[in-house]
Structure 1
Amino acid sequence: MKHRRITVGTVILNVLLFVVAFITIVPFIWMLLSSFAPNSEIVKVTGSLFPRPSTVSNYVNIQQRFDFLRLFANSLLIASVKTIIVIYTSAVLGFVFAKMRFRGRTLLFGIVMSTMMVPWAVTIIPQYEMMTQFGWLDTYTSLIVPSMISAFGIFLFRQSITGIPDELIEAAKIDGASDRRIFHRIILPMSHNTIAALAIFTFLWNWEDYLWPFLMITDEKKQLLAVGLKQFNGQYGTDYGGLFAATSLAIVPVIIVYLVFQKQFIAGIASGSGK
């Protein structure tokens, strides 16, 4: 009886997960099919639920509609640079909070964590004023510097590095290794799961960021892809086919990053939550 109860519960859980996954993926399937359909088919009131794909002109005309390749490269550059910086700074600060002993460590860590509770919208105006005073408007510096430190990343690394035995670090110090060498030769290699998890989150957040690049960058050649997609909105209508085609290509880097770090991502999240 107990075995049957577990089996029925597992089946029900799998069915619920399948339903949720199906509901989640349907909009992406609809978008992908629509990217191969003309606008007349997409906006048709009558007809099937999914547009009938019949053309590739939406993809062919993307570069003619706006400088897709330049915006794509800009977004890829900024998202990659910010991801690398956030991973390194989070790892350093996570190591400090996890293994360094100094007065006020717990209080300082609490202050860092409390910043996660402050809505980002509250800081938009102060940050905008700072960027204006620094003369960083219309530069990539205004996109990179404000997001170099991630409280979420620090939390993930602190939880992960706390699990590394202190005896291993003490042994390295006895052998003459400095804190810098210990961090780069021991801590970072043993934190690859956390690195993968944070890389996916950070890359995704920066890749789809719209409001801050929209406020900071005015030069169309420097603009990012998320902002550039708005150019499909015309005065009298929207080129839905072209918009869906560009969006379909825009999500490719995110999918690639997730597929590359998938196993480490799941292990890193499980490790962090287990702490």
Structure 2
Amino acid sequence: MKRKVRWPSYLIAILIVVFFLWPVLYVIFSSFKTLNEISSPNPTFFPDQWTLQSYIDVFQKANFLRYIGNSFFVAVSSTALAVVINTMAGYALSKFRFKGDKIILIIILSTIMLPLEVIMVPIYRVLTFFGMTDTYAALIIPAAATPTGIFLMRQYLVTIPDDLIESARIDGASEWKIFTRIIVPNAKAAIATLAIFSFMWRWNDYIWPLIAITDMNKYTMQLAIANLNGEFSMDYNGILASATISMVPMLFVFLIFQRQFVQGTAQTGMKG
């Protein structure tokens, strides 16, 4: 029996993809345009004259290699720390029963409703008390544990059978061995998802680095892009080129974790 080809569904999906990718592709292609083309009253989608001058100017006029390195260091360090802490917290809240565990979970979930603008002043005061302002730690440590990450890991780890963990305990396995040999391998889908979102949040973060960092040598990519806006002029070429550069790491991270995400989802938390 021949499979029915659902061309209308494919066509709708393609149109949706094109609709959402159109602005992104426009930014990428515009980064290869000259300033006259960008400023033209009749803009075109593809450049009439391809040029790399925008990228050359970005790296010559500003220390963008350092800013990219700062963003990588902050995003990778924060993501690694967030994966470890959120996974441990999710394991504790999903597989251990202790007095007040439900209350702790409710408190954690309630903080999801609080925007950064509400809590950034208390966080800044805490960092000031410990002398951590204007340091990389000010960008990494506050994002180490997030309510979204804890809830994601907790909800996924609940699906792992308790009998599997109890069997390991009967065999004499320590809690650390259970966590590293059973929990982590069977939570690859959630860990991959958490890593992607955590890296994306830290890489694209602008408000918090703007508050916590004053030394330009510690600026992240997003702060550097914002500095291309002058008081009386705007470097459109530089903004488009740097914005295109900032997209590459996110695409790279997603492609790395995509396979693990699919495999972990197929396993549904258990190995055959």
TM-score of the pair, normalised by structure 2:
0.91
8 Å Cα contact 1:58/1:242 also seen in 2: yes
1:255 aligned to 2:251?
Answer: yes
The equivalent of 1:150 in structure 2 is 146
1:56–1:64 Cα change, 3 Å: same
Does the CA-based 8 Å contact 2:186-2:264 persist in structure 1?
no
What is the aligned partner in structure 2 of residue 187 from structure 1?
A: 183
Of 94-103 and 16-25, more deviation after overlay is shown by: 16-25
Cα distance change on mapping 1:247 and 1:187 into 2, 3 Å: same
What corresponds to 2:171 in structure 1? Answer: 175
C-alpha distance 258-172 of structure 1, shift in aligned 2 (>3 A):
same
| Structure 2: unaligned runs, 5 residues or longer | none
Aligned equivalents of 1:34 and 1:110: distance in 2? 47
1:80 and 2:76 are equivalent in the alignment: yes
Instruction: Quote the residue 1:60 is aligned against.
Output: 56
40-49 vs 212-221, which deviates more? 40-49
- Aligned residues of 2:127 and 2:133 also touching (Cα < 8 A): yes
Q: Secondary structure at the match of 2:216?
A: coil
| Alignment deviations for residues 6-65 of structure 1 (CA, whole Å, 9 cap, x no partner) | x79x54443332222111111111111111111111010025344434211111122112
User: Any residues of structure 2 matched to 1:156-167 within 5 Å, and which?
Assistant: 156-167=152-163
Q: Secondary structure at the match of 2:178?
A: helix
Q: 1:233 aligns with which of 205, 229, 232?
A: 229
Counterpart-to-counterpart distance in 2, 1:245 and 1:154: 36
Aligned: 1:71 with 2:67: yes
**What is the distance in 2 between the residues matched to 1:121 and 1:21?**
33
Does the alignment pair 1:121 with 2:117? yes
Q: How far apart are the structure 2 equivalents of 1:35 and 1:221? A: 25
- How many residues align structurally? 267
Distance 1:84 1:76 in 2: 12
Q: Which amino acid in 1 is paired with 2:256?
A: V
- Aligned position for 1:28: 24
Give me the whole-angstrom Cα distance separating, in 2, the residues matched to 1:219 and 1:268: 41
Mapped to 1, the partners of 2:43 and 2:210 lie a distance apart of: 37
Q: Which moved more, 1:119-128 or 1:83-92?
A: 119-128
Partner of 1:3: none
Provide the C-alpha distance between the structure 2 equivalents of 1:194 and 1:218, rounded to a whole number of angstroms: 35
CA contact (8 A) 1:90 1:150 kept: yes
**1:269 to 1:151, Cα distance in 2 relative to 1, 3 A:** farther
Residue equivalent to 2:11: 15
Structure 2 residue 104 is the aligned partner of structure 1 residue 108: yes
> Which among 203, 209, 217 is matched to residue 205 of structure 2?
209
Q: Distance in 1 between matches of 2:265 and 2:46?
A: 35
Runs of at least 5 residues in structure 1 that lack an aligned partner in the other structure: 1-6
Could you tell me which residue of structure 2 aligns to residue 4 of structure 1? none
State the Cα deviation string for residues 97-153 of structure 1 (Å, max 9, x = none): 111111222221111111111122111222222222322221112112211111111
Instruction: String of CA shifts for 1:217-239, please: whole Å, max 9, x gaps.
Output: 11111111110112221233212
The answer as to whether partners of 1:71 and 1:228 remain within 8 angstroms in 2 is yes
Q: What CA distance in whole angstroms lies between the structure 1 residues aligned with 2:49 and 2:34?
A: 8
> TM-score scaled to structure 1, two decimals?
0.90
**Is contact 2:66-2:217 (8 Å) kept?**
yes
CA contact (8 A) 2:188 2:261 kept: no
Superposed CA RMSD in Å reads 2.2
- Report if aligned partners of 1:75, 1:224 keep a CA contact under 8 Å in 2: yes
Identity fraction in percent: 37
